[in-house]
Structure 1
Amino acid sequence: MGSEHPPLSPAQLQLRRSQQLRGQVLLAALLLALGAAGLVWQQGSPRWQVLIVLAQLAVARWGWLALGRLQLPAPALDQPQGNPALQADLQQKLSLLEGELEHVPVALLRISGEQVTALNVRARRLLAPGGALEREALLAQLREARGEAGRELLSVATERGQERWLLAGNRLSLGGVEARLLALLPLESELEAETLKAWRQLVHVLTHEIMNSLTPIASLSRSAREMLGDPEAGPDLNLALDTIARRAASLAAFVGHYRSISELPAPQAEVLQLSELFARLEQLVAADWRARGGEASFTVEPESLSLRADPGQLEQALLNLIKNAAQATAGVPQPRLQVRARLVRGGRLALEVRDNGPGVPAGLENDIFLPFFSTRSATQAREDGSHGIGLALVRKLIHGMGGTVRYVKPVTGGACFVLSF
């Protein structure tokens, strides 16, 4: 028969239960850090993405070190229950762990039945006077929050206004008692900074495009008015009026394109067989690529892959990326297009659109998804009808269906856009 450890003392049992609870708390904090990265990665800001990665590493390191302190050493269990040195060591470790838990930079709460318990100082501040204005409403939101692993945005009314928090949850059972552990991370200041940055970028683009049309319109209008009394100014007057009409039409088209990406209909999701979608796309574009001396390939691995999405909007997004690839490879002798659907790590579905063009110029990777931004010259844009909204429209369509889109620069050159679901 194998040797057995002597029964634990009540103090050791209490410590073991406390350590198990704190282990769940630490795991939830790590889960929240990972959930925050998944949510704000979609914002498209590399600065915020880097900050999130650094925060993940910091929380992971803290969690790893703290979890290491949760283990009761096996030899200690064989020692006499009244060993003062053992008790002092265990008490020191527990105090250190409690101190770290108290000051972890997220609000940690436990929900058992209708009771909501704050587990650290950040959570107590949120529930105390001066924190949430409508404490009972917040408690009701927390009780209704998902108990399984996941993440969601929670809006909380505080004295500083409405604030958004990222909530992650997990179920646990201690001593036969079911409970839910919640972790909340404040996001308002970071999201507000990103929103203001996006507005500045959009206003810059809008004012640039509008002024490009209004400046010549204003100048030519003054010139035309001066030529009205000159009987010999007929040809010049006609030219001025024709130019004004063209610039006004261009400005109207600009506003129309802006409306097209700001007022998209809600997606109508249904189960879509990707092999059928790719077959339609191949019929639409493959002949044009062959006529240019190139090739276009469409691959689904495995053939049975399906996706719940809006068929029309997903097809439009892929066509925009394919058009972008065609424009990028306009000067390539043997242009190649590769469109592939496959499963990647984590069971996620990835749709890749790859070309062998020059790729996005260095330093512009962060701007290509901005509305009306284009890496093409004004002459090229006029020739191919590009308005700089293709990639912005792709991102809006994909985000509306619950996916993400990012640009990847392959090691072999060219460009690759990845849609993840």
Structure 2
Amino acid sequence: MTFELNLVWRRKLLSTCGMLIIVGAAMAMTYLHTAGQSQHLLRWSIVFALLAVVGLLMFTLGLTSLTAPKARPDAGYLPPAMQRDGLQQVVLTLESRLEHAPIALFCVGSRGQEKNVSPLNGNARRLIAPGRVFEVSQLYEQIIAQAVGKRSMICFETEQGQERALLASSSLTLQSQTQLIVALMPVETELQIEAQQAWQKLIRVLTHEIMNSLTPVASLSSTAQDMLSDLQLPQQSTADLALAMDAISRRAHGLVNFVGSYRSLANVPVAQTERVQLQALLARISSLVSPMWQARGGEMQFSVAPANLEAMLDPAQLEQALINLIQNAFEATAAVKPATVHIRAQLSRGARLRIEVSDNGPGVPKDLIAHIFTPFFSTREHGSGIGLALVRQLVQGNGGTVRYAASVGGGARFIISL
């Protein structure tokens, strides 16, 4: 602003000086002609004429600069109208970037003694939309409790199960009011993938080392049993040794088979995706598992909406994942009469495939929900802990997620999103 004022005064000074030079030159020429000094008249007339021309140029330049538009892009100056348009464009750009930020942003303000939370962008509004977070008030309580400048992990229930999110905040003051800007980034899927990869590495190492030890034991115990018949030992001693060798052999072979079953978690093939019609896929599953449900008076229900719903996925892997979930429901509803399981396939937000498998069994206890997808963990006494872990791995291999979600009517409900 100071620069612009100085520039205006310089232009005024330039035009004033030009006018003074013109007036002075005219007066000087008038004096020469009046004095009648003919010997110097021509020479001084030329000099004063040149001065008058210079003064005219200075006056014209100064006057033109004062009346011309003051658009100086090189000096960063813009006329008021252009300034408003530029400021509006900057605001729109900032709003667009904020609206499409890949994290949920919230603002925590104060009204008297109370603090209120308001969403700042699209991700935040979608997160608290109906049907997404079960208890928005609980989520807001965790946001308000967030310490300034700190990061923390929070948990909240959604329609797809428990969600974990990273929370970070910063403080700023606008118009003498302090506000807290909180960023919330869901990381449940990323944490699941990291945990799954860690388990795969552990299982791969354990199964390799255990198999290397068990295979020779199983082989040597069988050889020792065959050698007993060639030894001249008392009958009682031979019987005792044979019984011991048989126990070692059976246990070794049993452990080999047991460990071999866990290799499936570490050696899932890469998904071979193709266009699949969900109605046909569920019909194939129904023909495989419906008879065992009907044999005990149970019922299976399949639904696809729309009927021609299709998706790009590995049909064999999705079938295996659904069969495991249905088998899990079959075992969970063993004491329920009549037992039912519902399999629903439909489109969800963002045109993603959503498959629900729900039953009318007792459901999973709340304190065990966080562990049901962990390899080797089982809620049943004789369970292997492979079924649900394999389901998650198969679904993740197809670019999706699977979660356990609370059911309003009771029972277990698993949601696959692809």
TM-score for the superposition, normalised by structure 2: 0.54
Contact 1:309/1:401 (<8 A) preserved: yes
Question: Is structure 2 residue 241 aligned with structure 1 residue 237?
Answer: yes
Aligned-partner Cα distance in 2 for 1:192–1:281: 27
Question: Is structure 2 residue 371 aligned with structure 1 residue 408?
Answer: no
Question: What CA deviation, in whole Å up to 9, does each residue of 1:94-117 have, x standing for no partner?
Answer: xx99xx9xx9989xxxxxxxxxxx
Code of the residue aligned with 1:400 in structure 2: it is G
Match of 2:314 in 1: 310
Aligned-partner Cα distance in 2 for 1:415–1:210: 35
Distance 1:389 1:275, change over 3 A: same
Distance 1:191 1:335, change over 3 A: closer
Aligned-partner Cα distance in 1 for 2:89–2:302: 55
Find the partner of 2:91 among 9, 19, 25.
Answer: 19
Q: List alignment gaps of at least 5 residues for structure 1.
A: 1-6, 39-46, 70-88, 107-184, 382-386
Distance 1:31 1:20, change over 3 A: same
State the 1:404 CA deviation. Answer: 0.8
Distance 1:22 1:343, change over 3 A: same
Distance 1:413 1:206, change over 3 A: farther
Aligned-partner Cα distance in 2 for 1:368–1:390: 10
Contact 1:202/1:370 (<8 A) preserved: no
SS of equivalent to 2:402: strand
Aligned-partner Cα distance in 1 for 2:210–2:379: 19
Distance 1:48 1:407, change over 3 A: farther
State the 1:405 CA deviation. Answer: 0.5
Distance 1:49 1:303, change over 3 A: farther
Percent of paired sites with the same residue: 45
Question: Is structure 2 residue 323 aligned with structure 1 residue 319?
Answer: yes
Distance 1:342 1:14, change over 3 A: same
State the 1:268 CA deviation. Answer: 1.2
Larger Cα-atom Rg: 2
Aligned-partner Cα distance in 2 for 1:359–1:322: 14
Contact 1:368/1:391 (<8 A) preserved: yes
Aligned-partner Cα distance in 2 for 1:390–1:23: 47
Contact 1:202/1:371 (<8 A) preserved: no
Aligned-partner Cα distance in 2 for 1:269–1:192: 22
Number of corresponding residues: 275
Code of the residue aligned with 1:364 in structure 2: it is L
Distance 1:394 1:49, change over 3 A: farther
State the 1:329 CA deviation. Answer: 1.3
Code of the residue aligned with 1:280 in structure 2: it is R
Distance 1:328 1:300, change over 3 A: same
Q: Which moved more, 1:20-29 or 1:401-410?
A: 20-29
**Two-structure CA RMSD over aligned residues (Å):** 4.6
Find the partner of 2:299 among 289, 295, 298.
Answer: 295
State the 1:391 CA deviation. Answer: 0.9
Pairs within 5 Å for 1:13-412: 13-31=85-103, 50=155, 55=166, 195=195, 198=198, 232-378=236-382, 381=383, 387-412=384-409
Contact 2:104/2:183 (<8 A) preserved: no
Contact 2:275/2:313 (<8 A) preserved: yes
Q: Which moved more, 1:239-248 or 1:313-322?
A: 239-248
State the 1:21 CA deviation. Answer: 2.6
Q: List alignment gaps of at least 5 residues for structure 2.
A: 1-78, 106-122, 128-151, 157-162
TM-score for the superposition, normalised by structure 1: 0.54
